[in-house]
Amino acid sequence: MKTDILGVGFDTLSPEEMVRAAASLIEQGGFHYAVTPNPEFLLTAEKNEAFRAALNGADLSMPDGIGVVYASKILGRPLAGRVPGIDFADGLMDWMVQNGKRLFLLGSKPGVADLAAVNLKERHPGLLVCGTHDGYFKEDAPVIAAVKEAQADVVLVCLGAPKQELWMAQNGPATGAKFMVGLGGALDVFAGHVERAPEAWQKAGMEWLYRLIKEPKRIGRMAKLPLVLFQAAGARVRGK
Ligand code: UDP
């Protein structure tokens, strides 16, 4: 059962439960995917039906922004808390090491995924990275073939939204991978190109502010975010 926040379903699981749920989906066989919506996703999904369908077609959906958690509270159906996609990926990689699963990194500018692979193998000794591909390809077929050839179990799909969700929903099953998760700019963080907020900022729910200070050009994107709270309040008043 997912919790509906402005038309997008979310799982009410803790970060640890989310990793356990992904592990059991991987063991189950077949293809599964996870999404990490933040408030910007909700605004885009409102106007983009294909994106909304790709989000709601996911097996797992984690609130990757404090704004989603606030909106859930305003709506009167509070989510368990934030589950940053990047932390989820770290937990999943620990499980993958213990279980000998193969990881493929897809996305970002050429060279970034390779650098991320080096750093991730250092952070998770024994991690099996079976392939990488940049995110600026014109045709899907060679990328699908690369994932298939690498016999990947799990793919981190970092193409930005809504591209990554549409890509997973459409092409995931053909790759033979068992699990994919859309992670936006995570490879840039893993590669060390983008710095994450210190833990104290993360715990205070202020990661967005830290990011804004580091990348002021995001102000246009972020200025829209309070809209999600207004919409949640509107929906509550209308009794939705
Ligand atoms: N990207 C990509 N292919 C594209 C467009 C974007 O691989 O066609 C990558 C981009 O290089 C960046 C990520 O997707 O690494 C999107 O980052 P963004 O900051 O938008 O994501 P967020 O972290 O905000 O979800």
Q: State pLDDT tens for residues 91-105.
A: 999 999 999 999 999
Residues (pLDDT < 70) of the chain are 240
Read off the DSSP letter of residue 6.
T
* Token code pair at residue 3: 């919790």
Distance 135 CA to ligand 1 centre (A): 8
- Residues 6 or more apart from 121 whose CB is under 8 A from it? 127, 129
Task: Scan for tokens 């200070």, then name that residue.
Answer: 213
Give the predicted TM-score (pTM) of the model.
0.95
Task: Name the burial class of residue 29, with classes exposed (0-12), middle (13-18) and buried (19+) by CB atoms within 10 angstroms of its CB.
Answer: exposed
Which pLDDT score, from 0 to 100, does residue 226 have? 87
Query: H-type helices in the chain, by residue range?
Result: 15-28, 39-47, 49-56, 66-74, 85-99, 112-123, 141-149, 163-175, 186-190, 199-203, 207-214, 219-222, 226-237
Say if ligand 1 is within 6 A of residue 116 CB.
no
Tell how far the Cα of 19 is from the centroid of ligand 1, in angstroms. Answer: 23
Q: Say what the pLDDT of residue 220 is.
A: 85
pLDDT at 19: 98
Predicted pLDDT at 140: 98
Cβ–ligand 1 distance for 214 under 6 Å, the answer: no
What is residue 222's predicted lDDT score, i.e. its pLDDT?
Answer: 82
Would you say the CB of residue 159 lies under 6 angstroms from ligand 1? Answer: yes
> What is the full DSSP assignment across 114-179?
HHHHHHHHHHSTT-EEEEEE-S--S-SHHHHHHHHHTT-SEEEEES-TTHHHHHHHHHHHHHT-SE
